[in-house]
Structure 1
Amino acid sequence: MSGSGGHAHNPFALPEDPQIPAPPLNCAAHGGDPCHVDVGGSERNFRRFQERFDGLGKLAERGLLVVLKGPSHSGKTSLRNRCLSYAMEALGPDDQRPDAEALRVDLSDRIRQPALSGAQRVTNVGRMLAAHLKANERIFETPYAAPDTAPDDADLGHWTASAGDRLYPRSSVVLVTPPVTTVDEIRRYWAGVDRGFLIFVECSAEGLEIPEDSEEWAQFEVAKWMLLETGMMLARETRELVERRTSGGGGGFRKLASNATDGRFGVDGSFPVGTVQKLLYLFYREHGRAGSGGEVTQDELSRFIDDQVPRG
């Protein structure tokens, strides 16, 4: 089945593979859709990132640590990728800065290795980052020297110390770390932020408190940090997402009753973004064609969700 055929039978399927739910924030998922549907506070978070990043003048004087916190499947990775794309374009060459270069080091898919301590995991990331920096010496005005050894309690600063001072004025380093679950790991990454560095850290630990105004996270002379929190998808946002996705397809998809999402989804949000996407994908795969019924009612949608996700 072709990509367009997959979309014709399920508005929540990826065009290139109709068996896979399309990410709600995926630009390419459906031609003509706005790139990013504003769900789970994604637009607000992205604007906050833009404001903070733009205020740092392409990292010329200060680096930036971005912590993305939220439950699993709440849109952290989609938000991170959007912020990452924006930053890479801004830090790359343009008419005013033809010699600009941003080195991207994406270690987000590395196995977390829960048996190791936070310090050991950060040490592994530091060593991998150092290898990338050493292999890309063109971004440095003076050669980068990676440390040969590391203490047991090393933070990322052990590998980035003086790296910011060695970068060419229009060079930068963008690091995406593996996901973390402790504040200690975040602090160890924070210690490695220097001029010219942008670091993204995802954290999905529930109940983890990261106070943005704490003295421990006070602004350094060479760095700033920010916290972007993702969460549950509101009933209103679910309705808007369905309206966007079912507006195509020649009118062949069932519409939602005005109160259809007010039951199981909840006004305040009951599911993270990714779970909502998967539930809608499954519902429209089985019951979404216009010929299979009239408007989708609250009772019908709630019963379907209860079958998929029993109430706890």
Structure 2
Amino acid sequence: MNAPRRPINPFPLPGWESTPMRPLRPWEREAHRDYYVDVDGAESAFQEFQQEVGDLTGVLEDGRLVLVTGDSGCGKTALVNRCADWTVLELGRRDLRGVVVDLTGCLPEDEELSIHERTVQVCDQLFDKLVDHGAMSPQAADTLRGDRDNPKRIFPRLGRALNDDVVLLVLLPSPNELLDEVIRYARQLRSPRVLFFAESAFFDADDLAELVRRLETWVPPITLLVGKLEDGDPGRFADDRLVRHTGVGIYPRLSDQAAELLGRICQSVAMVQRILHGTYERKLEAGLSYTEADQVTVDDIRAYLNGLGMQP
């Protein structure tokens, strides 16, 4: 006999029910692969990445840098993680092992560091991650250990130090001094079989044009733009999440008027997720009007926002 369905909040990601605002991370959690929704133009950006990377020859021979730009909360990190996951799967089809090293949180938030200091810390922590993943032979690790905090020596030698079946995917901290830091990774620190990913909310079209110009004699970065929410995106996101858990739990649907309100007040997909999760959680905890016959209404959303001191 199947277990009875219980009232649930349909908006957290699988495995991260207690941290509903964490971005999709399919290279670590396979269940997340099916949770991408085409909002903010993210699907076209992902397809552009696939086209640019192609058969991975450029990555294997020269290494590449991928820079994802867009407003805060628009899904940049989720796109980076999707691109990394796709690359790992493609490498697996070639009997190669993609090793993802997440260094996005490796720098202190309370210190102002120069580009050199930032890359030194990234390099130093990368070395430990490579050892932990078994990405290098013990002999290569011993050879590089003395230079582990010297980016100009470590990064260009990574391609030769990695095991023959390994391709490295490095998720970098968001660049601080923007153009100059990105250019350093793209020009001075790139290496065969190393794919860097970086994201920033501070690049505009002029910055990207300048980046391409300054790297025109080098391997150009792959630049992906995640745009703003378009008409219908909030409703499409809500519909996708609401149909996923009908077999395991019960919850009210979103009224048409509530979906329209989300479209008016939300500037990013992160804001859509935050409001929907919070509204459903508040209604669930109240224990009232939380059946499949009920609706989440405009008043429910306003009550949640008022509780945060926000006016819809």
Q: Where on the TM-score scale, by shorter chain, does this alignment land: which range?
A: 0.7 to 0.9
Instruction: Give the letter for the 1:260 counterpart.
Output: A
Assess if the C-alpha contact under 8 Å between 1:74 and 1:231 holds in 2.
yes
Higher relative contact order (CA closer than 8 Å, sequence separation 6+): 2
* Alignment equivalent of 2:223, drawn from 215, 223, 227: 227
Distance 1:160 1:293, change over 3 A: same
Task: Give yes or no for contact 2:24–2:81 (8 Å, CA) kept in 1.
Answer: no
Gaps in structure 2 of 5+ consecutive residues: none
Q: In the alignment, which residue of structure 1 is the partner of 2:191?
A: 194
Report the counterpart of residue 310 of structure 1 in structure 2: 310
Give the structure 1 partner of residue 47 of structure 2: 47
Q: Which residue of 1 aligns with 2:116?
A: 119
- What is the rounded CA distance, in whole Å, between the counterparts of 1:32 and 1:101 in structure 2? 20
Compute the TM-score of the two structures, normalised by the length of structure 2: 0.74
* Aligned-partner Cα distance in 2 for 1:199–1:56: 14
CA contact (8 A) 1:112 1:121 kept: no
Q: What SS does structure 2 have at the residue aligned with 1:224?
A: coil
Residue of structure 2 equivalent to 1:278: 274
Q: Which amino acid aligns with 1:48?
A: E
Residues 31 and 309 of structure 1, relative CA distance in 2, 3 Å threshold: farther
Asked if the contact 2:16/2:22 (under 8 Å) is kept, the reply is no
* In structure 1, distance between residues paired with 2:176 and 2:97: 31
The two structures, once aligned, show a CA RMSD in angstroms of: 4.2
Moved more, 255-264 or 58-67: 255-264
C-alpha distance in 2, partners of 1:32/1:56?
Answer: 24
Contact 2:275 / 2:301 at 8 angstroms: preserved in 1? Answer: no
Structure 1 residue 283: Cα displacement: 0.9
Number of the residue aligned with 1:69: 69
Residue number in structure 1 paired with 2:215: 217
Using the aligned pairs only, state the percent identity.
Answer: 23
Q: Distance in 2 between matches of 1:311 and 1:61?
A: 53
Alignment of 1:200-211 (within 5 A): 200-205=197-202, 210-211=207-208
Contact map agreement 2:251 2:290 (CA 8 A) in 1: yes
Displacement after TM superposition at 1:76 (Å):
2.1
The alignment status of 1:175 with 2:166, answered yes or no, reads no
In the superposition, relative to structure 1, how do residues 67 and 30 fare at CA in structure 2: closer, same or farther (>3 Å)? closer
Q: Compared with structure 1, are the counterparts of its residues 35 and 200 closer, same or farther at alpha carbon in structure 2 (3 Å cutoff)? A: same
DSSP 3-state at the match of 1:200? strand
| Contact persistence 1:58–1:91 (CA under 8 A) | no
Relative to 1, partners in 2 of residues 1:258 and 1:24: Cα closer, same or farther, differing over 3 Å? farther
Q: Distance in 2 between matches of 1:125 and 1:16?
A: 28
1:45 is displaced (CA, Å) by: 1.8
Contact 1:139 1:167 in 2 (8 A): no
Give the C-alpha shift of residue 67 in structure 1. Answer: 1.3
- Residue 12 of structure 2 corresponds to 13
Tell me how far apart the structure 2 counterparts of residues 212 and 144 of structure 1 sit (CA, whole Å): 39
Counterpart of 2:258, as a letter, is A
Q: Per the alignment, do residues 212 and 91 of structure 1 end up closer, same or farther by CA in structure 2, a change over 3 Å counting?
A: farther
Question: 1:252/1:201 Cα in 2 relative to 1: closer, same or farther (>3 Å)?
Answer: same
Structure 2 partner of 1:263: 261
Residue pair 2:74, 2:269 contacting (<8 A) in 1 also: yes
TM-score by length of 1: 0.74
What is the CA–CA distance in structure 2 between the aligned matches of 1:30 and 1:197, rounded to whole Å?
A: 23
User: CA shift at 1:297, angstroms?
Assistant: 4.5
Contact 1:126-1:159 within 8 A present in 2 as well: yes
SS at match of 2:236: helix
Give 1:169 deviation, angstroms.
Answer: 6.6
Cα 1:236/1:74, change in 2 over 3 Å: same
| CA gap 1:227/1:307 in 2 versus in 1, 3 angstroms | farther
Distance in 2, Cα, partners of 1:9 & 1:149? 48
Structure 1 contact 164–194 (Cα < 8 Å) conserved: yes
Stretch deviating more after TM superposition (110-119 or 290-299): 290-299
Deviation at 1:240, TM superposition (A): 1.6
- Measure the CA separation in 2 of the matches of 1:308 and 1:49: 38
Moved more, 29-38 or 248-257: 29-38
Seen in structure 2, the aligned counterparts of structure 1 residues 168 and 227 have a Cα distance that, compared at 3 Å, is same
Question: Is the 1:70–1:229 Cα contact (8 Å) retained in structure 2?
Answer: yes
SS of equivalent residue, structure 1 residue 182: coil
Secondary structure in structure 2 of the residue aligned to 1:211: helix
Residue identity in the other structure for 2:310: P
Aligned equivalents of 2:38, 2:196: Cα separation in 1: 24
Is the 1:254–1:290 contact (alpha carbons within 8 Å) kept by the matching residues of 2? yes
